[in-house]
Amino acid sequence: MVAIFIWFGIQKFTPYAAEAIAPLISHSPFMSWLGMFGVRGEARVVGTIELTTAAALIIGSFIPVVSALGAAMASGTFLLTTSFVFSTPDITIISPTGFPIISTLLEQFLLKDVALLAACLTLLIASLSWRSEV
């Protein structure tokens, strides 16, 4: 998880990544307010949050309460990114039977966040259960 958050967090400071996430953020009911910072600014905010999450996960290796915080932040991140599948227009096609079809590379990329969300929720539960044993 730490490597993912460092890698993606650093990328948010590049013009390429800022432009790539701009449509996702602008259509998100949860994140569109970041548009007030401009395309580069909103990407920097997201990148800073991702790098802070990585730091919390690293520190959490030594301090259990910070582990729970980092896992909660990571879970929140993947909840938000998974929501892009539903809020971003034209990335999902609905079949004649009404079942969604994974139709674009962007949607395929976002779908991995479901598995990452599960991993982060598992870490969060483990962090909280360790705390309850103390």
Taking the mean position of all CA atoms in its chain, how far away is CA 89? 19
What is the value of pTM for the model shown? 0.87
Please report, for residues 21, 24, 44, 126, 132, the alpha-carbon distance to residue 81 in angstroms, rounded to integers and kept in the order given. 10, 9, 16, 23, 30
Read off the pLDDT of residues 83-104 as tens digits, 9 standing for 90 and up: 998 888 888 777 788 877 777 7
Write the single-letter amino acid at 16.
Y
Read off the pLDDT of residues 60-82 as tens digits, 9 standing for 90 and up: 999 989 999 999 999 999 999 99
